[in-house]
Structure 1
Amino acid sequence: MPASKEHTRDINGPASQLELGQGYDIIGDIHGCAYTLEKLLVKMGYEKQDGVYKHQHRKAIFLGDIVDRGPHIREALHLVKNMVDAGYAYCIMGNHEYNAIAYTTAIDMADDDTGEKQFVREHNARNNRQISETLTQFAAYPEEWRTFLDWFLTLPLYLEFDDFRVVHACWDQQLIDALVDLTGGAKATPELVRESFNPNSLAGRIFDRLTRGTGLPLPEGRTIKGSDGYIRRIFRTKFWAHNPTTYKDVVFQPDPLPEDLIDFPLNPDQQASLLSYADDLPPIFVGHYWLQGRPRPIKPNIACLDYSAVKYGRLVAYRFCGEQRLSEDKFEWVYVDP
């Protein structure tokens, strides 16, 4: 199969044009599972040379969420960044990289009650908990952490090649076009991060939609307690559903809806707010969604590669060679050993 032509304005790091017959290995959320990532790369034929993993005929593409939760976050970041810097891989921004940037980006105002500095991402109990493992592992390496934070800001929010696309959570063409109009490409800017302090701003909607996906509010007064212990008032939805009529048609998350809401009807405003990814669009690869079971395409042109690695699931890759109908036999994975 011919190699994909790269839209280099949307790609981070040094890019070398792949020659005929080469391909891409697209890898899901790592969350600090560095040693599992090494096993997956070796299984796919990557070799460590001068401290960097490379393949003779392929490039890796990381779908973001390298940080948080897992036991070897620092090691995972070094591994991925070294591959990107050497031109052997690409990496896009996940919501956890955005969260880290936002958590450490101050805004030009102080809290009215305390006078303390405010940040784009509030330093509350929930957000502190989410980033705590990363901050703990970098406590003795503050300069390294600053280097990685600067690097996160260089990561594109999506990549688009001639025959496939990658984004962490959701392809929203309208907001992608808006991002390009604002920044001239796929990467964020410090100003855009600061503007995202307002979740209803254009910047806030871009980061939220591309790195967290779409969602719908539960009926008034209803909540879901997730397996991670968080209480949520919204549920994650597909960005590819065609003509959905009930919650069941659009829900896409690891935690099930309450039984009495499964067939709850969508109202016209909810139906109008949902996205749809047409069957004739290029294949797209996402992470983010904590899937379980045997990896397989969601649709012939959609694959999710997040199979809950840090929860002792699988770290998954798709070995793409230009096919426009994705195949179950192109998935590769390793199990995460507790």
Structure 2
Amino acid sequence: MLDPARGYDLIGDVHGCAQTLEHLLDTLGYRFQAGVWRHPERIAVFLGDIIDRGPRIREALHIVRDMVEAGQAFCIMGNHEFNALGWSTPAPPDSGHEWVREHTPRHARLLGETLAQFEQHPGDWNDFLKWFYQLPLFIDAERFRVVHACWDASLIAPLRSVYGDGRIDQAFVQASAEPGSFASAVFDRLLRGTAMRLPHGMTLTGGDGLTRASFRTKFWEDDPQTYGDVVFQPDALPEPVARRPLSPSEKNALLRYGANEPLLFVGHYWRSGIPAPIRPNLACLDYSAVLYGKLVAYRLDQETQIDPNKFVWVDVTRPEVGQ
């Protein structure tokens, strides 16, 4: 799909911050011509989660889809696009549920801003739901890879044998409604990442107001010893939990993306601070744009290690989020 000789601008989670996206594209040298943001030499690659939470979701989707359809960008699926498909897709008849993603208050809250902004544009929303099926779950360009949350070769290899370009269909979305199914594992791992349950039935309420019984984990640590060594989320673990040693079985269950694997770019994880590589072959480009953070890009050329000087970002101002 991707020309290895091209330069690519990889862009993290937009979450409806369309005004900031235009500012970032302008900073990167893209210009709005004939209705599409274009660069004379480079192509953008969006890491998913274009929708939800922000003030200009419909506008952001139009920007990204128009760029993709004009050959000026690629875009992969994020967990929020998958959530929208699950919300809108009937569950299999024998599942005991009406929808793949049940219409609970919690799920409604996550998608609520998107549905509200499209309330007067139902035809437009249906068109975007169809377009979400054109978004691959991953891109493997050999010298670099992109996936929304986590690269798991044990799932990607069998997925490619059926969906060679990473684009799934409605049957796959419906299959994901079955807990423990291959489709459920693919969406959970590739689009949400790895996680570990909190001990003793504990729960934590995060900065987003949601209460969870598990925490997101790193998938690259070579020799972690404690829970604190593997936590990878904005919300810190309580100190006694962070000090808790990992059991041998917990260590063995951790995924490890090797230091010698191709460059990998992910979004999803709500980072903060100055954008920088996690390690020489791994970078997260989600810096909490919709929480007054940064909308971040990485300017990839022919390098074989991620260069700290090639991150470009725009700080999200409160007028963007508040309008």
- In the superposition, the TM-score normalised over structure 2's length comes to 0.96
Distance in 1 between the 2:123 and 2:249 partners?
48
Q: Which is worse superposed, 151-160 or 181-190? A: 181-190
Do residues 219 (structure 1) and 199 (structure 2) align?
A: yes
Contact between 2:48 and 2:77, CA under 8 Å: does it hold in 1?
yes
| Separation (CA, whole Å) in 2 of partners of 1:108 and 1:63 | 29
Residue of structure 2 equivalent to 1:120 = 100
Partner of 2:128: 148
1:170 equivalenced with 2:154 (yes/no): no
- Uncovered stretches (5+) of structure 1, i.e. residues with no partner: 1-7, 9-14
Task: Give the SS at the match of 2:77.
Answer: coil
Do structure 1's residue 60 and structure 2's residue 44 form an aligned pair? yes
| Correspondence 1:243 to 2:223 | yes
Task: Say whether the 8 Å CA contact 1:110–1:118 is kept in structure 2.
Answer: no
Aligned with residue 58 of structure 2, among 68, 74, 83: 74
Q: Is the Cα contact below 8 Å between 1:237 and 1:252 reproduced in 2?
A: yes
1:223 to partner: Cα distance? 1.1
Residue 293 of structure 1: which of 268, 273, 282 is its match? Answer: 273
1:250, distance to aligned residue in structure 2 (A): 0.7
* TM superposition shift of 1:248: 1.3
Separation in 2, partners of 1:284, 1:221? 33
Partner amino acid, structure 1, of 2:228: K
Unaligned 5+ runs, structure 2: 319-323
In structure 1, C-alpha distance between the alignment counterparts of 2:175 and 2:217, rounded to whole Å: 25
Encode CA deviations 1:18-48: one digit per residue, 9 max, x unaligned. Answer: 7x5x400000000000000000000010001
Work out the CA distance in 1 between the residues paired with 2:184 and 2:95: 20
1:220 is paired with a residue whose SS is helix
Q: Quote the residue 2:317 is aligned against.
A: 337
Aligned counterparts of 2:291 and 2:164: Cα–Cα separation in 1 = 38
C-alpha distance in 1 between matches for 2:285 and 2:224: 24
User: After TM superposition, which residue ranges in structure 1, 4 or more long, deviate above 6 angstroms?
Assistant: none
The count of corresponding residues between Structure 1 and Structure 2 is 318
Is 1:324 the counterpart of 2:308? The answer is no
Identity of matched residues, % = 52
Provide the rounded CA distance (Å) in 2 between the counterparts of 1:118 and 1:40: 40
Say what the alpha-carbon RMSD is for the aligned residues.
Answer: 1.3
Contact 2:92 2:174 in 1 (8 A): no
Partner of 2:92: 108
Contact 2:159 2:166 in 1 (8 A): yes
Contact map agreement 2:95 2:178 (CA 8 A) in 1: no
Match of 1:11 in 2: none
